[in-house]
Structure 1
Amino acid sequence: MSDTMTVKEAARLWNLTERRVVGLCREGKITGAKKQGRSWQIPATAKKPLDQRIKSGAYKKQAERLPLPIGISDYRLASSQYYYIDKTMMIKDFIDERPQVSLFTRPRRFGKTLNMDMLRTFFERSEEDTSIYFKDKKIWSCGERYREYQGKYPVIFITFKDIKFDSWEMSFEAIRNIFAKEAIRHSELRNSDKCDEIDKKAYERLLSGQANEIELSNALLDLSRMLHKHYDIAPIIIIDEYDIPIQQGYMKHYYDKIILFMRNLFSGGLKDNRHVSYGFLTGILRVAKESIFSGLNNLTIHSVLDNKYSSYFGFTCDEVKEMAEYYGVANKYDELCAWYDGYRFGKTEIFNPWSVINYFHNECEPRAFWQSTGSNDIISEIIAQADNEIYDRLTSLVNGKSFTTYIDTGVIYPQIKSNPSTIYSFLLVAGYLKVLKTTPSFNGDYMCEVALPNKEIAFVYHKEILQQLNQIISPSIAVAIQEAIFSGNHAKLKDLIQGLLMQSVSYYDSVGENFYHGFMLGLCALLSGFFVSSNRESGNGRYDIQLKPKNKKLPGILIELKAEKHGTEESLKKLSQKALQQIIDGCYDVEMFAEGVEMIYRYGVAFSGKKVEVMADSVSSKETIRLSKSDYRSF
């Protein structure tokens, strides 16, 4: 037996992240740890450093702290009244390079709208002195060269984030209303003596909300021309979430119409338009191949694989550490890493900002906050085209595996049906995958090693992706399994899971405990009326899955999972009994009882390939004597 263990082995033994183990080695908190070359060697007898993290229920909000900016995309409000992570150096980087038109593609809820509003607030001419929102920010200390850009330009700001309608007619009406509101925002044009009658007629058509399709497709060109005349300086055009209407058009079968309109709109507003100083666009997909930006040779694209601007969307490691310290929970950093870290934009490690903020707001109880932030109809469309090879690859991710695949950051919606392998490109740019290694391809795209980013995405992955593979897990079977868990019908639970595994393909023969953990977690995630959590401390250890009822009169549920290869019926019964005993010995039910739950079902579940065994019992808050091993019921 080796006298030492690796960082990876220690992390698995102590249930920590590898990064945390390395940090503990560097801090001298692991006795006898020595660095050999580029690796740490840890004595096999070393003890896990004492866990001094705040236990559940001990987190306290402090009244003097700034509130958390949940759902705040208004820069003035966010930067002055809430905890704001300073991203204003993005302005410096832009001024240093000054590309004429910039497109930033990032997953949803990674700060695109807030950053675009920051750019608007900085550059836009206004009767209000908006410099007050930047004087305490990093950009202001960069010098007069950068300050002179502040408040210099008229700005056209358009967001398409709410264009999610079932028909082209409804979408067109909504877009027309958006431009009418933007025309109102520039009411100075109505009586401008620098604009001629043709200009004012076009303005009135926009303002009244009566512009036809041709007139509306010229809206960016018309507004930019009038603002240029009025202020004697060409405006900045900012378009947020430009591809939302395109995705909706694809899903609701008016794709060709929305593409034609967007092509004309952007061509007039951004292509060879001498009336625009700079343009900014955001979206999830690049969709350059749609010819929306046809001939737009002044477009600079910044995708999730590019280094420039990589730290400005999402939170960096240092930013999350500082935020955790500010809210008095610096010792929660490891948990934050496990759940919400793992993205890599360019060469920058990034946390999901939406989930980090909600984690602090939720008293540091980790959940999959990101899963409910947008429509995922497009995922269903993608999965519907998956073949067996794609399915095998997708399911392998849950077991902690990675694979190398071709990534096209310009993937377009019609390719989904014609080339299902584009699923990986879409899942990457949409935030469901992370890049471990990137190798440029011969045609300007990439070969990337991809994996799941973190625990949150593993959770979301089951609910939004694997659960949509109805040929394997039908909705009726999923519901029946949930009902069996909820009702304590242990025999039915075993039969349903067994039947599900028997119907599935052969990859189940070789997966490990991580897969089954994710599989059960995905099923539990669909169970309404419960707070679902995983790998959390309670009692004397960490449970696998806990379902805490929102109504304390309902039963709570604890599930401990085990897996082994080539298991027999007898060995699986023993293994499931061991899993149940772990719940009992670890007193995992202490937390729920302390919070007033009156009854708890406890499940020990053991898997081997397509076989499963379940041991279960129940305990009430009134009981003082726990069941002994001889009282367990096997099903």
Structure 2
Amino acid sequence: MERGLGGEVAHDTERKMKKRILYAEASYEAIIQENGYFVDKTQYIEKLERIKNPVFLRPRRFGKSLLCTMLEAYYDIRKKDDFHELFGHTWIGKKPTPLHSSCFVLHLDFSVIEVGDMATIEKSFNHVCNAQLDNLVFFNQQWFQDQITIDLDKSAVNNLQSILKTVKRDNLPPLFVIIDEYDNFANQLIVSHEDHLYHQLMSSKGFLKTFFKTLKEGRKSQTIRNVFITGVLPVTIDELASGFNIATIITLEPEFENMLGFTQAEVDRLLDEIYHDYEMDPDTRSETDALIKNQYNGYHFIHPNGEPVYNSTILIYFLHYFTRYRAYPEYLTDMNLKTDLEWVRRITGSNPDLTKGFVDQLMVHNTIEYDKNFLTAKFNMSQFFEKGFFPISFYYLGMLTRLDSFNLKLPNMNMRKIFAEYFNELHAIDVSTGYTNAMQQFLKDLDLSALFAAYWDRYISQLPEAIFQKVNENFYRTTFYELCSRYLSEWFTWNVERSYPKGRSDLEFVGKYNECFAGIRMVIEFKYLSNAEFKRLKTTIEDFTLQDEDTKQIAGYVDGLAVEYPEAKISQYVIYCIGNQGWRVFKINVAGI
């Protein structure tokens, strides 16, 4: 189930076999035919029909391709006899619109277009489009009756015009056009700084604008019923405005905020079914819920205070492993997600100082200012590499999400880890050598103080002096977590800022339920004192004592944790980080815990 959709989990009582979790499957038909888990988003089909030429942008691996194949299956006139099998169990199957199974479908995927010089791009574009136009005519011969032949040596525009002319003349069913990853090859030119090629591509007489003008003409003549476009960035659609000024951008419309991605209710229903079907141990459910919420939830595309959504594809990656091995994967970040770090390097890499400033800000504060007006203003290629647009670019790429009307933030632990890795890379901090002995010793004695000492001696000692002017509790929490996760993920997962009735814990070590530290919960509260603040205390690091207010604060988290996990073996710690001078770890011993 690639980039699984969200909504009600579909039930098919006629099928006897156990449902499958189909990770990386982008075909709606394949999911239905192979009895895959499907989270029903079909109610959005009706909503989309009210929009003329909708353009919907979301980050990679959020389910755009699966949404496109669902629309293809719904509108394709060739699938009319299969409609009940494909949609009978869904919301739209019970309330179909009059347009279902009534169109020729032209489904184009621009992500496969080859990038090179302009001749290479145009040749690849024509090849990709012509192949789909040829398929459209071939598979719909009962209507075309050999009245038209696609000439593969002609431009895609010429062949599309021939089809539209035939549709008009013979009163054939209209086309429903789907363009997936419309901006993929254009984005490659942008991030590769191929400015001259990009400007040629967007020329008013270029093949791309001519193609979109032909789509516009088809909409005007009603030979095209509608055009649905997906992509990642708004740059190209803004540049195409002169050729396709009939597009309706629905990316930021509240009605479509949850069209892709999983809400919490959708995840709960999906897990209910999976736990039942696979006879998973119900005692692990609470731990699983907490883990995936920390790792994959947290995206706010429109309403900062609304319900966040999960990255559905990466959640399916987790569930695919979980159901096969009945254990959590050691590495909770989908490796495909890490390829997005290349976008960070390319976008920010033209100015090393800006890059470090951008990444440092997120590492220290987990927030960055943004101009909300830039989300809806014209977004052209020249702005893409400007400092003020960095936050907007990464919002569209799915690396940042909305905290409020003034700030963006990293959405979850997945992204925190990725940015921590990039921070280490930018500052040439070695995280691969010199840590093994300390990590192995921790597995023997669970001595958190000794583990933190190794982190401070090896990791913190490598930080440039300028970093110490910026660090805070969040910085120490994030970098300590990222380092430990490199070595201890076989046995532990982590919670960062997990919510309890009396506040949010800073960091928790959680022993995996299927490993030797099952039931272990180490709750950590980080406190930061600058050198100046510490000097005013008139004490030494050795004589510094645990503060009463900090004991009470962490006790509040632990109370909530003990209620939620009454069988857990809970230990609690306060870690003080004092400027660049040193640290203290205090373990709090509480009767009954």
Distance 1:193 1:357, change over 3 A: closer
Hey, what's the Cα distance between the residues in 2 that align with 1:528 and 1:68? 27
2:459 to 497, 505, 523: 497
CA 1:494–1:135 in 2, change beyond 3 Å: closer, same or farther?
closer
Match of 1:320 among 254, 264, 267: 267
Name the SS of the counterpart of 2:107 in structure 1: strand
Aligned counterparts of 1:425 and 1:572: Cα–Cα separation in 2? 47
User: Counterpart in 2 of 1:47?
Assistant: none
| Alpha-carbon distance in 1 for matches of 2:352, 2:459 | 23
In structure 1, what is the Cα distance between the partners aligned to 2:226 and 2:540? 68
Amino acid at match of 1:245: F
SS in 2 for 1:484: coil
Q: Conserved in 1, the CA contact under 8 Å of 2:291 and 2:495? A: no
Q: Say which of 94, 108, 132 aligns to 2:60.
A: 108
Counterpart Cα distance in 2 of 1:483 and 1:399: 24
More helix by share: 2
Distance change in 2, residues 1:142/1:184 (3 Å)? same
Match of 2:210 in 1: 264
Give the counterpart letter for 1:461 in structure 2.
F
SS in 1 for 2:103: coil
Q: 1:191 to 1:164 in 2, by over 3 A?
A: closer
In structure 2, relative to structure 1, the CA distance for the partners of 1:461 and 1:186 (3 Å cut) is: same
Q: How does 1:44-443 map to 2 (within 5 A)?
A: 65-80=18-33, 81-95=35-49, 97=50, 99-126=51-78, 129-132=81-84, 133-142=86-95, 146=97, 148-163=98-113, 165=115, 167-188=117-138, 200=149, 203-205=150-152, 210-211=153-154, 215-229=155-169, 232-252=172-192, 253=194, 254-259=197-202, 260-270=206-216, 273=219, 274=221, 275-287=223-235, 290-303=238-251, 305-328=252-275, 330-331=285-286, 332-347=288-303, 349=307, 350-363=309-322, 365=328, 367-370=331-334, 372-373=336-337, 374-385=339-350, 392=357, 394-399=359-364, 401-407=366-372, 408-409=374-375, 410-417=378-385, 419-438=386-405
Distance 1:503 1:462 in 2: 18
Aligned CA distance change for structure 1 residues 527 and 160 (closer, same or farther; 3 Å): farther
Q: In structure 2, what is the Cα distance between the partners aligned to 1:606 and 1:342?
A: 28
Residue number in structure 2 paired with 1:466? 423
- Is the alpha carbon distance of 1:117 and 1:609 closer, same or farther for their aligned partners in structure 2, counting shifts above 3 Å? same
| Greater alpha carbon shift after TM alignment, 105-114 vs 188-197 | 188-197
Find the aligned partners of 1:286 and 1:376 in 2 and give their Cα distance: 20
Equivalent residues of 1:270, 1:279 under 8 A apart:
no
- Distance in 1, matches of 2:141 and 2:490, equals 59
Q: Which has the higher contact order (CA 8 A, sep 6+)?
A: 2
Q: Distance in 2 between matches of 1:218 and 1:378?
A: 35
Unpaired stretches in structure 2, ≥5 consecutive residues: 1-15, 276-281, 440-450, 497-504, 517-521, 547-573, 586-593
Contact 1:344-1:435 within 8 A present in 2 as well = yes
Q: Secondary structure at the match of 1:130?
A: helix
C-alpha contact (below 8 Å) 1:176/1:216 kept by paired residues: yes
Give me the whole-angstrom Cα distance separating, in 2, the residues matched to 1:116 and 1:572. Answer: 64
1:97-119: per-residue Cα shift (whole Å, max 9, x none)? Answer: 1x331100011111111111111
Task: Report the 3-state secondary structure (helix = DSSP H, G, I; strand = E; otherwise coil) of the residue aligned with 1:139.
Answer: helix
Per the normalisation by structure 1, the TM-score is: 0.65
Identity %: 18
- Residue 457 (str. 1) matches residue 404 (str. 2): no
User: What is the CA-CA distance between 1:64 and the residue it aligns to?
Assistant: 6.1
Q: In structure 2, give the amino acid aligned to 1:610.
A: N
Change in 2 beyond 3 A, CA 1:345/1:530: same
Return the offset for 1:139.
Answer: 0.9
Question: Which of residues 453, 474, 478 is equivalent to 1:518?
Answer: 478
Question: 1:179 and 1:231, CA in 2 relative to 1: closer, same or farther beyond 3 A?
Answer: farther
- Displacement of 1:278 in angstroms is 0.4
Corresponding residue for residue 534 of structure 1? 494
Cα RMSD for the two superposed structures: 4.2
The letter for the 2-side match of 1:88 is T
Give how far 1:264 is off: 2.5
* TM-score normalised by L of structure 2: 0.69
Deviation at 1:168, TM superposition (A): 4.5
What is the rounded CA distance, in whole Å, between the counterparts of 1:261 and 1:467 in structure 2? 43
Q: Tell me how far 1:267 sits from its aligned partner.
A: 2.1
Deviation of the 1:498 alpha carbon: 4.1
Q: Which residue of 1 aligns with 2:560?
A: none
In the TM superposition, what is the alpha-carbon distance from 1:161 to its structure 2 partner? 2.4
Q: What's 1:4 paired with? A: none
Give 3-state SS (helix, strand or coil) of 1:458's partner.
helix
Q: 1:334 & 1:493 partners in 2: Cα distance?
A: 26
- Aligned pair count reads 480
Alignment partners' CA distance in 2, 1:526 and 1:224: 56
- Separation (CA, whole Å) in 2 of partners of 1:225 and 1:375: 42
1:453 deviates by 1.6
Q: Which runs of 5+ in 1 are unaligned?
A: 1-62, 439-447, 553-557, 576-603, 616-635
The worse-fitting range, judged by mean Cα deviation, of 563-572 and 86-95 is: 563-572
AA of the residue aligned to 2:60: R
For residue 293 of structure 2, give the secondary structure of its aligned residue in structure 1: helix
How big is the shift at 1:261? 3.7
